[in-house]
Structure 1
Amino acid sequence: MNRLRSIDDLGTLREKLYLEYEQAETSSIKVCCGTGCSAAGGLEVAEAFSKEIEKQGRNIQVVGTGCQGWCEKGPLVLLEPQDIFYQRVTPFDVPQIMDLTISRGRAIERFFYPRSDTGERIRRREDIPFYQKQLRIILRNCGRINPTSIYDYIRVGGYEALTRVLSSMSPEEVIDTIKKSQLRGRGGAGFSTGVKWELCRAQKGKVKYLICNGDEGDPGAFMDRSVLEGDPHSVIEGMIIAAYAIGHVSEGFIYVRAEYPLAVTNLGLALYQAEQLGLLGKDILGSGFDFSIEIKRGAGAFVCGESTAMMYSIEGRRGMPRQTPPRSVEAGLWDKPTVLNNVKTFANVPVIINRGADWYASIGTERSKGTQVFALTGKVKNTGLIELPMGTTIREIVYDIGEGILDDKRCKAAQIGGPSGGCIPEELFDTPIDFDSLQSIGAMMGSGGLVVMDESDCMVEIARFFLSFTQKESCGKCPPCRIGTYLMLETLNRIVEGNGKPGDIEFLEDMGNMIKATSLCGLGQSAPNPVLTSIRYFRDEYEAHIEDKYCPTKACKALGTYRIVNEACILCGMCEEVCEKEAVVSERQRYYIDEADCDRCGRCLQVCPVDCILYRGQPVSAEIVGTESSLAPSSKENR
């Protein structure tokens, strides 16, 4: 790997790589080897293709790409130039694909995705509903290139923005371009990126620092991880441009949690390649500009996603937020002016420089420009990593990209913004997703987690689950977060266990608002959001848990009771067969449920062919009216 001495050297290399690629006339098999597909066997599929190609002596390139997005359907395989997209491929399928598709040109329909509504099998990736509405800017190279090859990145235009900046733009012009694009931070707060850079540049002094926040700790979120795995050079290039614009920045850090081994590996390799090629280190491309980047591995503390806590962690101290002001751009890492941006924010920068601020600002809404990446999970038919223009509605995501709810159940809500986000009911799904619209309904953009829930999900339990996460991850430094979240969680635990009491809802609201108003950092201030929004939109469920002592969704096993209406029972015995706790008892030509043994799993309710099993709170229909005397005894002593 020869070191590039000038901007012209990089241009010559890019042209050479492009011509070699065009003249090679080789087919390529792109296998998703991101974490999701690797867990499903993606690496084994890529290895099987390589062995089969070697055995046949074919001139075909096997490319292990980063995340292609549709993790649920992995391993994913894209055949080029045939433009054929296969899903759920196994190593055992490889010989058949090589024989029928590669050798004979015949597509294998069983690997095509069948539409959930019509059953039509789709050949091209771009025609699949999951991909149709996406606009991939941040994820532009994920699934397209080999993330372990800097030459692949350069061939598709990588580091072109850097050469443009170093050759023809002053630092002030770079900042002005970013400001004009209206790029806002993708870490959750949505602060103007250009303004942040400008404030830091204005600080006096010779030493400044740059940090990339890759500490993605939200449950079910994997956006930053996928970018670092699949396109690490886009983040590195964005950081180099930022360092040039801010000035007096010779050292940067990428903070990524150690639980992301593939991201750490690919990122470390990318940094090494960039240094060897002369794109990092001393005298970058002969410009006289020096900048290096170091990886800092986090130990998994959620609070270290907060900027000041992260800086303490990098310094070797315990990761705990500090009081602001002073802001990080004034006194951050080692008390020096510091800019901290998210992985996705830096990945946007090269595109903005190359395509222009006006182009980027034309995408999205009036105050939220560009795109956002979401991890779409939960009770939706299509799950995975998606990137959409700001302003796309929640309904479009759930019903167009996600193709609706699993088992065609009724959609109930979506949790947006991770454990610090809000629970949004289905009737508000026409709300456009942008920083301001989400805040107006009690949610937040966060880092991009989106969990879809159906009618079987209990919103009280959902709120309890998310609060239990944030309470455990609290650093404990400030009393509102440390004590307040504990008291709220204790109250929610009582409610789902059937011990709720009048005034609990009001207590949760008062305590939640107090925590939001007085906590030290943004994580503490947003911790009550799931509870407050679920009370705001699903108060009736809280009231049912507290006043009627039952869970309308039957999710809280400590609440409610099951009864068999004897007049309607046909004595089929199916309820007894499925009961793992042996709580369904047969006695004198009738069945009853022993409450002492019943764990309220609901299996008996699901299998009963005549609906004669009733859950407390469910109205008894006219066809199966039963009296208390007809209901079974509730103790084995009465057998």
Structure 2
Amino acid sequence: MKIVVGQGSCGIAAGANKAYDIFESSIKEKGLQVDLTITGCIGMCYLEPIVDVYDDNNKKTTYVRVTPKIASEIIEKHIIKKNIVKDYTISEEDLKVLSQQKRIALRNCGHINPESIDEYLKKEGYKAIEKCVKEMSPEKVIEEIKISGLRGRGGAGFPTWFKWNAAKNSKGSPKYLVCNADEGDPGAFMDRSVLEGDPHSLIEGMMIGGYAIGANEGIIYVRAEYPLAIVRLKKAIEQAREKGFLGKNIFGCSFDFDIRIKAGAGAFVCGEETALIASLEGERGMPRLKPPFPAQSGYWKKPTNINNVETFANVPWIIANGGQAFANMGTEKSKGTKVFALTGKIKKGGLVEVPMGMTLKEIIFNIGGGIKEDKNFKAVQMGGPSGGCIPASLVDTPVDYESINKTGAIMGSGGMVVMDETTCMVDMARFFLNFTREESCGKCIHCRIGTKRMLEILNRICEGKGKDGDIELLEELAVKIKEGSLCGLGQTAPNPVLSTIRYFREEYEKHIYDKKCPAKQCTALLTYSIDPEKCIGCGLCARNCPVDAISGELKKSHYIDPEKCIKCGKCKQSCNFNAVIVE
């Protein structure tokens, strides 16, 4: 028998290590003939910790939300007595989350031990690069990527083959291949899952890219906030070297290639190519003007190609199965699949990979299970701080580059932050703008000062101090920031504000003119009172009020003094009769 414990960051955060320790100690103490191993995140983060048990016939039973107590039960009842503990097995409804997906970039995540190269080899690992080196010319590899229609999965959606071809044809030596693993969008963790769950697919994808452009050195620029990913990447690189997949004369041919890791300090601006290159060279991560593009003059002014983790993870599958197989999925201009991180007010949060062209509604409601507590769906933020909010009225929008761009959002790296009726769109815009303001490198005055001024206006609106003309001023500043910023951070920073004004202008107007927050989230705009018809005078609210703003006699209706009230919400939380009114 075999026990496999999901140990991606989400599983570990949910307690997977504690469950693993129970399994390990029980197997040792009871002398059980059971293999215990780990795997990465399969994408169903809301069910973690997830444990798979394989019987002697390799039949799998999946247990979810496994606590140490449940782990002990699994040992006693399933492993020893051969009885499946049905109370904790995955439901048919949750299995549909996987059945509705098409997994290419995530094909091995949650299925193999990411710390074992042998398990990757059993999945035909490193066969694609062997095929390239032994059977295909660099031109043929690039042509296959062109046929596939693969576009960069980091946000811009630029054709991968074009970037490879440009770097290949550029004069200069040596050439460099860089993987941008500096995943910085709030709510995005697609690349992290691949790094933690299937690092060899990234390595193989980079090897193929290196062979295609004529590079002998690859660099993975990964954010230091991903310690587990870095540990597993290092192990994978060492294993690949030991097996001869990295180094000199790979597969007995003249192809040399090796990879090293650079841990970045977590600057969002380093997701931009030229800022990333500056950081690699030991400089402050700040963008520069293009052209020249990195393909002509990149790392140390040599031809350099940069793609993100998900892009490279698709490459071995494309070479193994043919570019046309990838192109057969998706839409006319957006081929293949895309990985999305579902977060926010959604029932089944985690990672999904679906063919391009699936609608937002299908992803959020069919795969994601809909909105928590069955509240009304209000909007989804796509593209992170560089993207925009797509309202519920556009929920039938197909998820492809062109359709998403038309809404005012962008595909981005794949974050989907789902919002319900309790989300204040002004506050949401403020959150993302605050992020980009803090992450601005400061090089461009428009970005450095403009985002600060926009944030000041948003803060004023949320504090009940908004005034006539604020919306128009936000729009004017947004245009100037877009026009005057050098890189993508500044050029897209106003997007969350512009998209929320576009679709939720009346919410801004309510804040400014009526001094009310329709979502009841902006504290400064709220008023607390007690409904005399519902209040029975129990005094519980008064006892929980930290500033003694509530008065009244026992068994008689109470009163909240608006001058003393600090709007902490303690009275609302403590009232058992729904007598506290928040407006």
When the two structures are superposed, what TM-score results if normalisation uses the length of structure 2? 0.96
| Matching residue within 126, 135, 138 for 1:159 | 126
Query: In structure 1, what is the Cα distance between the partners aligned to 2:428 and 2:483?
Result: 23
Is 1:448 the equivalent of 2:414? yes
| Residues 354 and 568 (structure 1), Cα distance of their counterparts in 2 relative to 1, 3 Å cut | closer
1:413-439 Cα deviation digits (max 9, x unpaired): 111111211111111111111111110
Q: Specify the code of the residue in structure 2 equivalent to 1:74.
A: E
Which of 44, 49, 52 is residue 70 of structure 1 equivalent to? Answer: 44
2:37 and 2:395 map into 1 onto residues whose CA distance is: 39
In structure 1, how many angstroms separate the alpha carbons of the residues matched to 2:65 and 2:534? 46
Q: Secondary structure at the match of 1:555?
A: coil
What CA distance in whole angstroms lies between the structure 1 residues aligned with 2:344 and 2:547?
29
The residue number in structure 2 matching 1:233 is 200
After superposition, the C-alpha distances for 1:102-154 in whole angstroms (9 at most, x for unaligned) are: 233322122124xxxxxxx44xxx96232231211111111111111111111
Larger radius of gyration: 1
SS where residue 72 of structure 2 aligns? Answer: helix
For residue 120 of structure 2, what is the amino acid of its counterpart?
Y
Match of 2:60 among 83, 102, 105: 83
One-letter code aligned to 2:294: S
Q: 1:429 to 1:199 in 2, by over 3 A?
A: same
Residues 1:391 and 2:357 are matched in the alignment: yes
The aligned runs of 1:49-448 (5 Å cut-off) are: 49-80=23-54, 81-113=58-90, 121-122=91-92, 128-247=95-214, 249-448=215-414
Tell me which amino acid in the other structure corresponds to 2:77: L
- Structure 1 residues 46-67: Cα deviation after superposition (integer angstroms, max 9, x where no partner): 2322332233333322221111
1:578: Cα distance to partner? 4.6
Q: CA deviation at 1:204?
A: 1.6
- Tell me if the contact between 1:554 and 1:602 (Cα under 8 Å) persists in the aligned partners: no
Q: Contact 2:173 / 2:303 at 8 angstroms: preserved in 1?
A: no
In the other structure, the counterpart of 2:462 is: 496
Q: Matched residues in 1 for 2:495 and 2:396: separation? A: 20
Task: Give the Cα–Cα distance (whole angstroms) in 2 for the partners of residues 579 and 165 of structure 1.
Answer: 70
Structure 1's 567 and 352: CA in aligned 2 closer, same or farther, altered over 3 A?
closer
SS at match of 2:510: helix
* 602-611 vs 484-493, greater mean Cα deviation: 602-611
- Matched residue SS, 1:128: helix
Distance in structure 2 (CA, Å) of the matches to 1:102 and 1:263:
31
Check conservation: 1:29, 1:77, Cα contact below 8 A.
Answer: yes
Q: Which residue of 1 aligns with 2:562?
A: 595
Structure 2 spans left out of the alignment, 5+ residues: none
RMSD over equivalenced CA pairs, Å: 1.8
Aligned-partner Cα distance in 2 for 1:357–1:348: 11
Could you say which residue in structure 1 is the equivalent of 2:499?
533
In structure 2, the residue matched to 1:30 is 4
Of all paired residues, the percent bearing the same amino acid is 55
Is the Cα contact below 8 Å between 2:342 and 2:352 reproduced in 1? yes
Cα offset, 1:356, TM superposition: 0.7
1:54–1:454 Cα change, 3 Å? same
Question: 1:271, CA displacement in angstroms?
Answer: 0.8
| Matching residue's letter, 2:298 | G
Equivalence for 1:477: 443
Local SS of the residue matching 1:146:
coil
Counterpart CA distance in 1 for 2:184 and 2:232 is 19
State the 1:411 CA deviation.
1.3
Structure 1 unaligned residues grouped into runs of 5+: 1-26, 114-120, 617-639
Moved more, 127-136 or 485-494: 127-136
Cα distance between partner residues in 1 of 2:488 and 2:577: 52
User: Could you tell me which amino acid in structure 2 is paired with residue 246 of structure 1?
Assistant: I
Contact conserved, 2:380 with 2:418, CA < 8 A, in 1?
yes
* Distance in 2 between residues matched to 1:452 and 1:483, nearest whole Å: 30
Distance 1:130 1:580, change over 3 A: farther
For residue 523 of structure 1, give the secondary structure of its aligned residue in structure 2: helix
Report the residue type matching 1:147 in the other structure. Answer: P
Q: CA deviation at 1:224?
A: 0.8
Aligned amino acid, residue 30 of structure 1: V
Q: Partners in 2 of 1:35 and 1:325 — Cα distance? A: 39
Which sits farther off after the overlay, 590-599 or 194-203? 590-599
How far 1:182 moved relative to its partner? 0.3
Aligned partner (choices 565, 576, 579) of residue 542 of structure 2: 576
After TM superposition, the score normalised by the length of structure 1 is 0.87
Summarize the Cα distance change of 1:51–1:615 in structure 2 as closer, same or farther, 3 Å threshold.
Answer: closer
CA gap of 1:38–1:611, structure 2 versus 1, over 3 A, is: closer
Contact preservation (8 Å) 2:537, 2:553: no
1:561 maps to what in 2? 527
Q: What is the CA-CA distance between 1:572 and the residue it aligns to?
A: 4.2
Taking the aligned partners of 2:78 and 2:181, their CA distance within structure 1 comes to 40
